[in-house]
Amino acid sequence: MSQWNNFSRGFFKENAVFVLLLGLCPTLGVTTSAFNGLGMGLATTFVLLMSNIVVSIIKRHIPDKVRIPSYIVIIASFVTIVELVMQAYIPDLFAALGLFIPLIVVNCLVLGRAEAFASKNNLITAAIDGMGMGLGFTMALVMLGAVREILGSGSLFGFKFIQGDGMIVFVLAPGAFLALGYLIVIVNKINKKKA
Amino acid sequence: MAKKESTFRNMVFTLFLVTLFASSALALIYEVTKGPIAEAKRLKKANAIGEVVPAFDNDPGTEVKKLAIDRDTLYFYRAWTDGKVTGIAVESYTYAGFSGLITIMVGFLPDGTLNDVAVLEHAETPGLGDKMEKDKSFDKTSGESWTTQFEGKDPRNYSLMVKQDNGDVDAITAATITSRAFCDAVQRAYDGLLEVTDELDIDAISGSTRRPNQE
């Protein structure tokens, strides 16, 4: 498998949100605006990339029976690092994402890639996979956030283009499920045509 | 190199090393970010104070007076210009919101008039309750937001309750609970202010009436 394939399949063929349906809790929770989606996606990408790298480096030294606890400790450390750094240097974004940053720890996408991919591949391949999967996740979150922001608040990345309110239901929880459902339909339709 | 066997000794040793590295990395990052985090919090508070009181030349964030009231604590910040108090910012709270705690910064002039109100933290519904934030309810044509109606009002003759409860405040459409909670927090700030008038060295707010106990 070529490295390009390792990178690009995170976007459509094996997109974490639209195809694998992993990590849906932060996906539905934070995507009230495109910018929140972008912030959450990039934070997750960083954790995914770093944990993939570390796991692939130390995979030989971890006995099989304790590999999951070891991976979780590694992932949790990187999440806490992201949390502290965000709090210190981008407090506004941290205030918006709040509760969902610590929840990256239990995002099954991160543990899933560590366990299923990074622990079986070399450093470079694992890093490329982490980057691709993370950016694919980010893309999905930005798409979902953009749809919800346009329909719900009539703005995109904070720039308002209608007066007053949009369809508020799209900013609320039910709108997240609705928008995600339709996006999954569209992405799967495109994927089927390609195959 | 073969993979390590899952013997007891190997497992304990591995987990010990992993957690050791993780905790030292975290300790390092914590030390590095401790300063900037405190600075960011201070800045946020200072901005909120600056928003709600008239111009000042001291650093109100450093002059804090605490008052325990109801279930929590109010914080008072004094703003000075040339040795004269120009305003008091009160960090107030309410638990009556639609989804939990709301904290706001209420600015008073020395005579007890409301100057301005800013929201610090809340978890109200986006699109409905969050209109109490200035920029969420800002109307370009009138240049006003929902909190504008509090500006310049004197709580002595302005009832801090929504009109549905026979008060003077226009509630946010479809967010009456949030509006009630907001009024509750402002009223709590005012009640607290009356109790510490002497200590804050501001003009007595005589003749003012306390909110009748509703319970």
Domain membership flag for residue A184: no
pLDDT of residue B189: 87
Judged by average pLDDT, the poorest of A135-144, A152-161, A166-175, B16-25 is A152-161
The alpha carbons of chain A give a radius of gyration, in whole angstroms, of 17
Domain membership flag for residue A157: no
What is the average pLDDT across A15-41? 83
Q: Which residue has the higher pLDDT, B167 or B181?
A: B181
Residue with tokens 């000794």: B9
Decide if A61 touches B, using CB distance below 8 A: yes
DSSP character at residue B89 = E
Q: Which of A28-37, A154-163, B121-130 has the highest mean pLDDT?
A: A28-37
User: Residue B6: its chain A contacts at CB < 8 A?
Assistant: 63-66
Assign B23 a pLDDT band (cuts: 50, 70, 90).
very high
pLDDT at A122 over 70: yes
pLDDT at B24 over 90: yes
pLDDT of residue A78: 92
pLDDT of residue B205: 52
Tell me which residue in A73, A80, A171 faces B126 most closely, judged by beta carbons.
Answer: A171
Decide if A91 touches B, using CB distance below 8 A: yes
A162: left (phi over 0), alpha (psi -120 to 50) or beta: beta
Domain membership flag for residue A95: yes
What is the average pLDDT across A158-180? 79
Beta bridge partners of A155: A160
Contact A61 B4 (CB under 8 A): yes
Cα–Cα distance for residue pair B102/B119, rounded to 1 Å: 8
Tell me which residue in B5, B37, B128 faces A88 most closely, judged by beta carbons.
Answer: B37
- Stretch 122-151 of chain A: residues touching chain B, C-beta under 8 Å: none
Domain count, chain A: 1
Judged by average pLDDT, the poorest of A180-184, B144-148, B179-183 is B144-148
Decide if B30 touches A, using CB distance below 8 A: yes
Please give the interface size between A and B, counted as residue pairs whose CB atoms are below 8 Å apart: 77
Sequence letter at residue A97: L
Predicted confidence (pLDDT) per residue in A43-77, tens digit = 999 999 999 999 888 888 888 888 888 889 999 99
Residue A139 structural domain: 3-143
List the structure tokens of A118: 């990074």
Domain membership flag for residue A66: yes
Domain membership flag for residue A31: yes
Q: In what order do the strands lie in the sheet with B84-97?
A: B64-69, B72-81, B84-97, B100-108, B114-121
Domain membership flag for residue A172: no
Pick the residue from chain A with its C-alpha nearest to B131.
A165
* Percent of chain A residues past pLDDT 90, beyond the cut: 12
